[in-house]
A and B are shown apart, each in its own frame.
Chain A
Amino acid sequence: QSALTQPASVSGSPGQSITISCTGSSSDVGGYNYVSWYQQHPGKAPKLMIHEVTNRPSGVSNRFSGSKSGNAASLTISGLQAEDEADYYCSSYTSSGTQVFGTGTKVTVL
């Protein structure tokens, strides 16, 4: 069960949109609509941002959106703000009844 693949870093200027990719296999991302995304600021516990590919929990800004195509999922942050600077992790349910996280992406706001 290998970690899902994410780019190590993504950056953008305030107001821009950025997209983080998350690539897995047919046994995880491609097989289920249970992709989720988490945001983690330094020294803090992660926070759920997106669940079931596209759903935002209550209180999460609509600047965050998710999508999936085949074995790859994406998180898009539009109208980038300084507070969005953090680490982001994808996760997927797997055919083993477990979950697997992505390798993590550091988002930098220039």
Chain B
Amino acid sequence: EVQLVQSEAEVKKPGESLKISCKGSGYSFTSYWIGWVRQMPGRGLEWMGIIYPGDSDTRYSPSFQGQVTISADKSIRTAYLQWSSLKASDTAMYYCVMGAAGPYYFDYWGQGTLVTVSS
């Protein structure tokens, strides 16, 4: 059974750094694209970016390029989403997603990690 298990909720202050994680199991981690989707409170879904753990090929939405970093450690089957300096506007639910058929759509979703940024 494919599972994407995300790290717990985080509460941070503006300007702090953060790295959240997503551990994949039940499939060949290096063979499928894994990525991140943002959902701000009461808002819609936003596609952030994806990575192919096999060769670390990474693609970002123009809206998130330079704002976050997506990475993966294939030795521990884990993908990451990180910020170097958080803003209040980063407050959102972040979903880890996986596309079994390529970078075209997401078959599998994690449970979500709520990030709250507040002074």
Chain B residues contacting A87 (CB-CB under 8 Å) are: 44
Chain A residues contacting B109 (CB-CB under 8 Å) are: 45-47
Which of B13-21, B22-30, B75-83, B100-108 forms contacts with chain A?
B100-108
B59 touches A89 (CB 8 A): no
A-B contact count (CB 8 A): 68
Chain A residues contacting B106 (CB-CB under 8 Å) are: 36, 38, 48
A46 touches B101 (CB 8 A): no
Which of A15-23, A73-81, A100-108 forms contacts with chain B?
A100-108
Closest to A46 in B: B109
Considering only CB atoms and an 8 Å cut-off, how many residues of chain A contact the other chain?
27
User: By DSSP majority rule, is chain B's interface helix, strand, loop, or mixed?
Assistant: loop
Given A45-B112, A46-B45, 17 further pairs, Cβ under 8 A: A1-B62, A1-B63, A34-B104, A36-B104, A36-B106, A45-B109, A46-B37, A46-B95, A47-B109, A57-B107, A91-B47, A93-B103, A97-B59, A98-B49, A100-B47, A101-B47, A104-B45
**Chain A residues proximal to chain B, CB less than 8 Å:** 1, 3, 32, 34, 36, 38, 40, 45-48, 51-52, 57, 87, 89, 91, 93, 96-104
**Chain B residues proximal to chain A, CB less than 8 Å:** 37, 44-47, 49-50, 59-63, 95, 101, 103-107, 109-112
